[in-house]
Structure 1
Amino acid sequence: MTAASSLMAVQPPQVDGDALSTARECTLRDFTAPPSFRDSQFGIILRNQRMRPADNSGLKTLSGYRSRFIHLTNSFEFAGWGSVTRLKLGNDDYAEGLARVQALRKEQVLGQFLASGLAGNAVLGSVFYALPAVVAVSGVYSPISLFLATLILFLWRPIMEELASALPISGGPYTYILNVSTKTFALVGAALLLLDFGSTSIVSAATAATYLSGEVPSLPFPTWVGAIIVLVLFTLISLTGVRESARLALGVLSLHIVSMIVLIIVASIHWRKIGVQQLTDNWNLWRATSSTSSSGIAKQIYYGICLGMLGLTGFECTPSYVSRIKPGKFPLVLRNLHIPAIGMNTVLMLLVLAVIPMDVILGGANVLSVLAQASGGRWLRTWIVVDAIIVLCGGVLTGILSACELLQQLALHRVVPRLFLAVVPRTGAPYFSVLAFTAFSGLLYATAGASLVVVSEMFSLVWLTVMALFPAALLLLRFNRGQLPRARRTQLCVVASALLIAPVVFAGNVAYKPQTAGYFAAYVAGIISFFSVTQNKVTLLRWVYWTYDQYPALHSWRASREWGVRLVAAMRGLRRQQVCILAKTDEINSLCRMILYVRKNEETSHLKIVHFYEDDEGIPSELEANAKILDEAFPEITIDLTLVNGTFEPASVAALSHRLGIPQPLMFMTCPSAQCPHSIADFGTRIISL
């Protein structure tokens, strides 16, 4: 063979130029544009899941992940496979959703005066038990202590206003913390709030009974029985509903303000007649029996400020029913309560020192009724005693209604049974919450030995701790939910000052009466333990079953086996309660964080990822793929993806809640931006991420 023929043998075959160009383009495209998740049909995921049944009932049988129970298979530990569905809400669903949104807005029935009336009786009625407590430690410096104590609240007002504008949801610090932090921390706040509301009701009822017994020594029953009678009476009144109760509370508050104005005027006229001699005598007597050094005087004023905060109790109740207050009225409510408290506490304390001898003041008498007797005679004393009993009873009503709002929120979040949501058909009052809280208040009073002193001293510590939750919640909101829209922004130095003052005043109360810290710790620990059990029901039942599982002999008895079966059924039923997250993105890191939140804070094995879309192009391209990845990554949770054709708005979310049977408080979403046209209160959902 010649060289020429050899060369011809190895030459490639001739091809068409257009075909060669097309082949090169295909090769280049294959290297530069790998197939998407949708194009590859999720190969890896399908390879793991292709053996599952069509009805998604199979197990996620991952190697090395086995049940810790001897007599239970992996079917108990692992949830079923998730599914992907498309959903279009019907007209009935939208009608129900719109009705829910309108019902929420109709609940905003309290104007600035009706809302002020609910908490005002607790705030302005506290003069009847705050003044004697302060004068016992601060003496002639009591007006200074009370004035400074009431001024401190100027730090809290902008903080409470910002929180309420960002999260206009009832429940107070509990709901604030729930939307900016973990549910565990929120339940600590709920425990403090419940104890605070119980203390408000008990101190108000017991003080009213004490005033009555002081004026009518021949009562046929002891003081503690009178306190229980007052508590029961206003329990019945609270069953008439919030709006009716608010009107009654406003009437009581109006009477109290008129009574205090009359007392101040009459006492001022009497002081002018008698001159400053009594005030001088009290000054000299106190300085002769107490320290006159600068440090001693400062200490007395400091202790007076610490105990004088009792004169502000009731402010913490206003955020508990903020969702029922008309938009824009909450700052006015705080103003209506704060300004009268400043003048009333300070001026009345000064008049008491100017008219009544110090030994009478310290003798435990009803100081304001004694002031009325000395200034105006028997008619004014009778008036003030009647006013004291009525307004303090209004404080009982404040505690009950605030607690009911909190218990309803806890029931919606599955911390307490849904029975707490049951209402009287005619009035809408949550009767089970009312009765349960009354029983709790009675238990609190009984365990304190029916001692007003013990409950009052413990009350001051609880109140200060609750007030510290407000700046703490605002700091967390700023850090974790910074883009949440709000009407105002408080300076950071104001928030920090409030957060520092609260422990300083708390320490003063403990230093003055160290034993009160023991009562405080015992009650808080008891309530937190109760909430821990109700929040972690499945975990507790798992421990019970694990203990039962360790004794094989128990499984051989028929009765014991049936008990074990019921226990397993209870755990499965509790775990299958669904929750849902509203996703606007397909970013897997964002979805994973939301699922981790659910896993940490809610006892469930069934989660739905919901995305609203208006057309197919609006569905994020990798949402389905990432949902399947997460379903694979969390074998203990069934993760469904539901694509809802519709607009993301409050009515649609409420309609979806109705369709899926998932309460709106158990539907979680990311933090809305300032451009969102709707309030978080309209959605009724929980914010769990940025």
Structure 2
Amino acid sequence: MESEALAAAAAFPLTPPRQYLIINNIQKRKNIRDMLLSAAAFGVVEVLVVGQKLLSFDQAMNIEDVLPNFQFPFRITRFATLGECRAHLVAVEPTVTILGIEILHNAKSVNDPDVFAGPTAVMAGNEGSGLSDAQLAICDRFVYIPQYGGGTASLNVTVATRLAIAPSSHLNVGLTRGRRRCPQASVQLSSAMPAPSSSTRHRWSFNFEVEQDFQPGPSWAFPGPGRSQNLHMPATEVAAIETELEKACPHALGEWTSTAITGNDVLSSCLYSSGIVASKAGKLAPVANILVAATMYLFRFIYIEVVSAIPLNGGSYNTMLNTTSKRWAAFVSALAIIAYLATGVVSAVSASDYLQKEVPGLDTIWSATGILTVFAILNVCGLNDSAVVALIIFAVHTLTLIGLVLASVVYAVQHPHIFWSNMGTPFPSLDVEGHDLPGNAATALFFGFSSAMLGVTGFETAANFVEEQAPGTFRKILRNIWYLSSFFNLTLSVLNLCVLPLHVTTANSNVVLAMMASTTVGRWFELWLSIDGFIVLSGSVLTSYVGITGLAKRLAKDRVLPEFFLVENAWRHTSHYIILAYFVVATSLVWILEGNVVMLSSVYSYAFLGLLVLFAVSAMLFKLKRSQMPRETTAPWSACIVGLFMSCMGFWGILMGDPKVSVVFATYLLTVSGLILLMLERLFVLRMIMVVLKTISPSPASDKMRLPLLQSPSEVLGGPAIVKAIKTINEPPIVFFCKHPDLQVLNKAVLYVRRNEHTDNLRIVHVYSRGGAPPAAFHDMVAVLDCMYPKLRIDSVVVEGEFSPSTVHWLSHALNIPTNMMFIRQPDNMDAHKVSMLGVRVITG
């Protein structure tokens, strides 16, 4: 082998021009070390170091851990300024050309042979900012390394340097797909290896064919070879779609109508959270609410950053879907379902409590069940959440709370002894894991904070209907909701201590505001507040039905929930299966917890705090993996970390409470998660069923012939039905939009689809400008991937036109693929960002 390699090297003698490497403004020691190793591998004669820190550079040169006793085969010369470096180069090599690696309009391709015709000195820019002005000034030419991100990542610095100092070679690959010969694929690479005793470089050219059998198994497991397709978009159809998009106005909700929809959820929490917080925190309830206000202030900007970048309905689920795997997003969706479930149940039971205040003897459990039944019927009949009605309810409820605040202030001034009496009470004892513990300031704040988070539940509602909001509205909604919730939660917690003794508050925690109204004004105001509370809380039940319907539809379209949830009745065109399922599960929760608002609220807090924790995590992943996506603002890392810590503390506080609540929450979460997991792994389950059937009940023919399972599903009892189900599940295709024919990105897209989606057909689509031509290597690269993954048929599709929302809509109609089953690489400009706003999923960085 060694003699053959030496003979091959002798057959291709090369005497390349002398090369130099300039290292300046490189931050990471690892990058410096990789550059030095590349320079040694590719025959650089001198490395010129300008202004690097001496200690950092010396540490980068220490490579004993990877190459013991290795010595760099070039000179290393240090300079204080770039001007001195250039003067030295010109003195030792008068014809030298300094090449800067940068994407500029006058830059030449790294594959242009004229670039390296004479002596060259290569210089790369900083990992984050590229070449500085001083570096640009000393460069004679610029070389362009194709990159498809918004900036130069730290990997790109070393790879770009390696490509610029290495020679080019060609790899020609011919593929044969079944009986059809594919066009020859030509991919340019840089490949070199230093000779043992000199810097001579060698070039190899490989020519080979790949013969692949595309029928290694049954058609339901191996769909066959991919196809190439050229699509033409008629200008008239595109113009019609653009006109339709301009006429369509999904962003109909303004600032205050949107605030009202969200505010009814958030401010309704005040009706049942005030008493619960007082029972946990005692006289420190206001401090607990201050901590909650500070926490939600941080989450304001976290939500704005993420939702402004991905303005699609779905909240936490949508964020995780665009930053992590589908399984993690599905788990978040399970928490969101529990949150909607708990919202409706807590609101129904609390509304019953306020109604019971005026109708003594009313059974809370049956009343809550009746409320859930009435709104289920109304939703089946087609009653949707009206923004105008929501605004009226919101305005009346806000004015009612303001009236209660004013009346309580007057009462507090007249009866100051109540406040001072409450300040002298001991901290409440707490039930932790079934044991009573004496309270202190720390436990009061800790458990009070956990309970006070219940007062801002519903904060995430605005992110679940962002597609219906006017541009720029989302930021204003969160601002308004934060001010309102912080003001009322804090003010009412203080005034509660000024109006009612703590033991009265604890005994009537379900209807504390009604008690305050009765004490401060009288019976008529108590009646008014009870009616207002009943209406607002009933409105939250309606919102829960509407919200769970939208979320379940989204999950069913994404194939996370069973697709029968998309079925609509012919009478009112409503999703009756979703409504019926929600009603059954919500009613069961009411009866299992016997209408206990405190326990039901704990279940709600579990789900809400779990969503906050995962949203903070997804926001940090979003910063790391989707940094180039346009957004309105950028929340600081400190806000994400502190927000995550505070939400974890709140979750822990709820977790340490009543063990029965934890069991109930875990039961419902595992049930929903189990259903979702079954959907995500249904192909595996079907194959296991086939194996079990073959084992316990083989057909006579299969048992006699001893046929392999995968080759003979028809010979297995029930096999044809299972195969039909597998084919039906795998039938819907997936689209991935490819901007540039980058083999690495395409392979990542294929791996994502294989790991997260049920399909046997991936269509990779490239849109090229009108009058131009598609990249020559595009079809060949797709052909390579098609051969690599025989269980996935990978088609290449080229479309002439502009990549825009109208193009995506046209393709969705032409290919009969919904936009939520279309994927894209991270968009780094506003045009591509508009496409991702249509529901096209971002799957790679």
- What secondary structure does 1:117 align onto? helix
Q: Deviations over 1:320-341 (max 9, x none)?
A: 1111111101011112211111
Distance apart, 1:539 and its partner CA: 1.8
Tell me, yes or no, if the aligned pair for 1:169 and 1:681 is still in contact at 8 Å.
no
Identify the residue that residue 419 of structure 2 maps to in structure 1: 279
Deviates more, 1:191-200 or 1:94-103: 94-103
Q: Provide the C-alpha distance between the structure 1 equivalents of 2:811 and 2:615, rounded to a whole number of angstroms.
A: 33
Tell me, yes or no, if the aligned pair for 1:81 and 1:631 is still in contact at 8 Å.
yes
Distance apart, 1:282 and its partner CA: 2.6
User: Do structure 1's residue 331 and structure 2's residue 460 form an aligned pair?
Assistant: no
User: Do structure 1's residue 200 and structure 2's residue 351 form an aligned pair?
Assistant: no
Q: Deviations over 1:34-70 (max 9, x none)?
A: 8885xxxx53x12x533699xxxxx9637xx96xxxx
Tell me, yes or no, if the aligned pair for 1:197 and 1:402 is still in contact at 8 Å.
yes
- What secondary structure does 2:229 align onto? strand
Q: Deviations over 1:420-440 (max 9, x none)?
A: 445689987655444443333
Greater strand proportion: 2
Distance apart, 1:445 and its partner CA: 3.0
Q: 1:325 to 1:33 in 2, by over 3 A?
A: closer
Q: How does 1:110-259 map to 2 (within 5 A)?
A: 110-219=253-362, 222-238=363-379, 245-259=386-400
Q: 1:155 to 1:670 in 2, by over 3 A?
A: same
Q: Deviations over 1:293-318 (max 9, x none)?
A: 99921221221111111001000221
Distance apart, 1:242 and its partner CA: 8.9
- What secondary structure does 2:647 align onto? helix
Q: Deviations over 1:264-308 (max 9, x none)?
A: 1122222222x2112222333446999xx9992122122111111
Q: Provide the C-alpha distance between the structure 1 equivalents of 2:780 and 2:590, rounded to a whole number of angstroms.
A: 58
User: Do structure 1's residue 590 and structure 2's residue 735 form an aligned pair?
Assistant: no
Q: Deviations over 1:570-618 (max 9, x none)?
A: 1112112211111111121111110000000001111111111235744
Identify the residue that residue 16 of structure 1 maps to in structure 2: none
Q: 1:232 to 1:119 in 2, by over 3 A?
A: farther
- What secondary structure does 1:687 align onto? strand
Q: 1:235 to 1:599 in 2, by over 3 A?
A: same
TM-score, normalised to structure 1, is 0.85
Identify the residue that residue 731 of structure 2 maps to in structure 1: 576
Give me the CA root mean square deviation: 3.0
Identify the residue that residue 22 of structure 1 maps to in structure 2: none
Identify the residue that residue 463 of structure 2 maps to in structure 1: 319
Q: 1:315 to 1:481 in 2, by over 3 A?
A: same
Distance apart, 1:235 and its partner CA: 3.5
TM-score, normalised to structure 2, is 0.70
Q: Provide the C-alpha distance between the structure 2 equivalents of 1:659 and 1:259, rounded to a whole number of angstroms.
A: 54
Identify the residue that residue 504 of structure 2 maps to in structure 1: 360
Q: 1:254 to 1:435 in 2, by over 3 A?
A: farther
Identify the residue that residue 709 of structure 2 maps to in structure 1: none
The residue type paired with residue 213 of structure 2 is T
- What secondary structure does 1:114 align onto? helix
Aligned length: 634
Q: Provide the C-alpha distance between the structure 2 equivalents of 1:91 and 1:432, rounded to a whole number of angstroms.
A: 41
Q: 1:92 to 1:544 in 2, by over 3 A?
A: farther
Q: Provide the C-alpha distance between the structure 2 equivalents of 1:295 and 1:431, rounded to a whole number of angstroms.
A: 48
User: Do structure 1's residue 61 and structure 2's residue 205 form an aligned pair?
Assistant: no
Q: 1:512 to 1:417 in 2, by over 3 A?
A: closer
Q: Deviations over 1:434-459 (max 9, x none)?
A: 44433332243344444433221121
User: Do structure 1's residue 468 and structure 2's residue 613 form an aligned pair?
Assistant: yes
Match of 1:485 among 630, 637, 641: 630
Distance apart, 1:465 and its partner CA: 0.8
Q: Deviations over 1:230-277 (max 9, x none)?
A: 22333345568797522222211111111111111122222222x211
Distance apart, 1:218 and its partner CA: 3.3
- What secondary structure does 1:74 align onto? coil
Identify the residue that residue 303 of structure 1 maps to in structure 2: 447
The residue type paired with residue 272 of structure 1 is V
Identify the residue that residue 550 of structure 1 maps to in structure 2: 695
The residue type paired with residue 350 of structure 2 is T
Tell me, yes or no, if the aligned pair for 1:146 and 1:305 is still in contact at 8 Å.
yes
Q: Provide the C-alpha distance between the structure 2 equivalents of 1:434 and 1:102, rounded to a whole number of angstroms.
A: 33
Tell me, yes or no, if the aligned pair for 1:238 and 1:245 is still in contact at 8 Å.
no
Distance apart, 1:96 and its partner CA: 7.0
Q: 1:109 to 1:243 in 2, by over 3 A?
A: farther
- What secondary structure does 1:512 align onto? coil
- What secondary structure does 1:679 align onto? helix
User: Do structure 1's residue 632 and structure 2's residue 776 form an aligned pair?
Assistant: no
Identify the residue that residue 390 of structure 1 maps to in structure 2: 535
Q: How does 1:40-55 map to 2 (within 5 A)?
A: 43=174, 45-46=175-176, 49-50=178-179
Q: Provide the C-alpha distance between the structure 1 equivalents of 2:599 and 2:286, rounded to a whole number of angstroms.
A: 24
Q: Provide the C-alpha distance between the structure 1 equivalents of 2:526 and 2:739, rounded to a whole number of angstroms.
A: 65
Match of 2:764 among 603, 606, 609: 609
- What secondary structure does 2:386 align onto? helix
Q: Provide the C-alpha distance between the structure 1 equivalents of 2:732 and 2:832, rounded to a whole number of angstroms.
A: 31
User: Do structure 1's residue 530 and structure 2's residue 694 form an aligned pair?
Assistant: no
The residue type paired with residue 495 of structure 2 is L
Q: 1:281 to 1:483 in 2, by over 3 A?
A: same
The residue type paired with residue 689 of structure 1 is T
Q: Provide the C-alpha distance between the structure 2 equivalents of 1:332 and 1:98, rounded to a whole number of angstroms.
A: 29
Deviates more, 1:142-151 or 1:163-172: 142-151
Tell me, yes or no, if the aligned pair for 2:276 and 2:506 is still in contact at 8 Å.
no
Q: 1:101 to 1:178 in 2, by over 3 A?
A: farther
Identify the residue that residue 267 of structure 1 maps to in structure 2: 408
- What secondary structure does 2:656 align onto? helix
Q: 1:675 to 1:337 in 2, by over 3 A?
A: closer
Q: 1:631 to 1:357 in 2, by over 3 A?
A: same
Report sequence identity in percent. Answer: 27
Q: Provide the C-alpha distance between the structure 1 equivalents of 2:647 and 2:425, rounded to a whole number of angstroms.
A: 33
Identify the residue that residue 705 of structure 2 maps to in structure 1: none
Tell me, yes or no, if the aligned pair for 1:78 and 1:635 is still in contact at 8 Å.
yes
Q: How does 1:343-358 map to 2 (within 5 A)?
A: 343-358=487-502
Distance apart, 1:78 and its partner CA: 1.2
User: Do structure 1's residue 672 and structure 2's residue 827 form an aligned pair?
Assistant: yes
Q: Deviations over 1:509-545 (max 9, x none)?
A: 2223344332222222221111011122222211111
Distance apart, 1:149 and its partner CA: 1.9
Q: 1:249 to 1:683 in 2, by over 3 A?
A: closer
Q: 1:658 to 1:418 in 2, by over 3 A?
A: farther
| Unmatched 5+ stretches in structure 1 | 1-31, 54-58, 67-72
Q: Deviations over 1:637-657 (max 9, x none)?
A: 111111112211110111011
The residue type paired with residue 227 of structure 2 is S
Identify the residue that residue 19 of structure 1 maps to in structure 2: none
The residue type paired with residue 683 of structure 2 is V
Tell me, yes or no, if the aligned pair for 2:690 and 2:716 is still in contact at 8 Å.
no
Deviates more, 1:89-98 or 1:587-596: 89-98
User: Do structure 1's residue 621 and structure 2's residue 776 form an aligned pair?
Assistant: yes
Q: Deviations over 1:156-213 (max 9, x none)?
A: 0000011111000001110111011110110011000010011011101111112212
Tell me, yes or no, if the aligned pair for 1:309 and 1:460 is still in contact at 8 Å.
yes
Identify the residue that residue 817 of structure 2 maps to in structure 1: 662
Q: 1:295 to 1:270 in 2, by over 3 A?
A: closer
Distance apart, 1:95 and its partner CA: 6.3
